[in-house]
Each structure stands twice: as structure tokens, then as C-alpha cells.
Amino acid sequence: MTDKAAPVDPRPIRTFGRVGGRSLSARQQALVEDLLPRLAVPEGLSDPRMLFPGAREVWLEIGFGGGEHLVEQARRHPEVGVIGCEPFIEGMAKALTGIEANGLTNVRLLMDDARPLVAALDEGCLDRVFILFPDPWRKKRQQKRRLIQPDFLASLYRACRKGARVRFATDVASYADEALGYFLGHGGFDWQAKSADDWRLAPADHVTTRYETKKLGDCAPVWFNFLAQ
């Protein structure tokens, strides 16, 4: 009798949970149908600078939630091109509302997992990256789905120029410990903390999000800032 090999699951590991949620308002639905296609990151993008002619830098925010941080950073820095990735339709609709309300022309959006995008980007094309409160996948058996993994950091490092700034934040203690270990273990990300306040206090340029105010984690927010070497 021949042993049969276990079937291989062809589905890629996702770094986010459920995608469905509350129904959109008529206005939000209209923005998703009309504005999102105009701002969508094209499939197979390799050079994000092509999306922002004349921009001084290109920034990437992975998992922008309700878009408060994304929209405000783009508003404060009109000379910068900002790409935001978010798989949840509710968050995308909220970001579109803020983009329209502020008349922003320096934002492009991807409603999907950020990993394939980062893997496809040209070497050294990102100047700044925000990864703020990604899904922590709290259960031990789920933690392989966490975004911060060695393979992802290798892709991210390649896409960052030398001197690019990377910010990671979480309010889950196990994720903070694990992520810091992976960043430092990579060897290409220089942790900028000089004292405990550098990771205990929100950076001066941070924009507080609705997620933070809910205090859903098991610890106070932890802020890790790195420079790509």
C-alpha cells in the first residue's frame, strides 16, 4: 500500500484576518467605485516613483486601518508620494473619504496584502515605511501569519534606499519582542532607540489613530524606529 502525500494548500499565507464587515454608506460606495480605480496602484508596479512625478520621496504605509495616519501624513507632506496598503474595504472607504475631503493628489492605494507589492518593487525605491499596529495573530498557531518575518524583511530591506526610515508599532507584547528580534537579526536595520522613552513614547510626528484609542492590546504601544543601512 502506497502512502499518499498530504495535499498542499495552494493559498498564500495572509497577514490579515477577515475582510468582510459593515456595509458602506452610499457615499463611501461611490468613492470605492469612482475614486479608488483612479488611485489604485497598477498591477506589477516596480518603480513607485512613476506614480508621483516630481515627488521628493516615496513613502509606504502598510495596513493603514481607518486611514487617519495616512491621510494626515499625506496632507502634511504634499511633496511626498504616499502609497497605502489596506485589505479591508471599510478602512479603504474611510481613507478615500479623507483623501477627497483634503483634496489630496499625492496618495495611491492598494486594497490587498502588501507583501507581493513590496517583493515586486525596485531596489532602493522607498524612502520611508510605516507598519503601525499590524494584525498580531495572537494565537500561537496563527503567528506564522504575522507580517514581520525574515522573508518579508529581506524584501523590505531591498526596496528601501540606504538611510530609509522604517517605523513599526504594536500594542501586543509578544509581537513587539518577536518583531524586534527579527529586525535586529536581519542586520540591515539600525534601531534608533537611545533610551527607553524612544520606544515607549509616540514619535513627535505620529498621528494617533482610532485603533490606538481603543486600547485593544495587552501592553502600551511600543514604537520601533529603524534606519536601513
Contacts of 128 (CB under 8 A, 6+ apart): 57, 59, 60, 80, 164, 165, 166, 167
What is the mean pLDDT of the segment spanning 162-179? 97
User: Using one digit for the tens of pLDDT, what is the confidence trace for 89-142?
Assistant: 999 999 999 999 999 999 999 999 999 999 999 999 999 999 999 999 888 777
User: Using one digit for the tens of pLDDT, what is the confidence trace for 1-47?
Assistant: 333 343 434 444 444 444 455 688 999 999 999 999 999 999 999 99
The matching CATH number, chosen from 3.40.50.11720, 2.40.50.100, 3.40.50.150, 3.30.70.100, for 54-228 is 3.40.50.150
User: Using one digit for the tens of pLDDT, what is the confidence trace for 182-224?
Assistant: 999 999 999 999 999 999 999 999 999 988 999 999 999 999 9
Contacts of 137 (CB under 8 A, 6+ apart): 17, 143, 144, 145, 146
Of the candidates 3, 135, 151, 198, the residue annotated as catalytic is: 135
At 23 the pLDDT is 85
* Angle, alpha carbons 153-158-162 (nearest 5°): 110
Q: How far is CA 192 from CA 73, 206, 222, 226, in A?
A: 21, 16, 13, 6
Least confident interval from 19-23, 77-81, 172-176, 195-199: 19-23
Reported as half-sphere exposure (CB side, CA atoms, 13 A), residue 14 has a value of: 12
How far is the C-alpha of 127 from the C-alpha of 206, rounded, in Å? 17
- Percent of the chain at pLDDT exceeding 70: 90
At 140 the pLDDT is 78
23 secondary structure, DSSP code: P
What is the mean pLDDT of the segment spanning 65-93? 97
What is the mean pLDDT of the segment spanning 67-89? 97
At 10 the pLDDT is 42
Phi, psi of 215 (to 5 degrees): 50, 60
Contacts 24+ apart (CB under 8 A), 36-43: 36/92, 36/96, 36/109, 36/111, 39/96, 39/99, 39/107, 39/108, 39/109, 40/108, 40/109, 40/110, 40/111, 41/83, 41/108, 41/109, 41/110, 41/117
Active site residue 190: no
Domain boundaries, the chain: 54-228
At 210 the pLDDT is 87
29 secondary structure, DSSP code: H
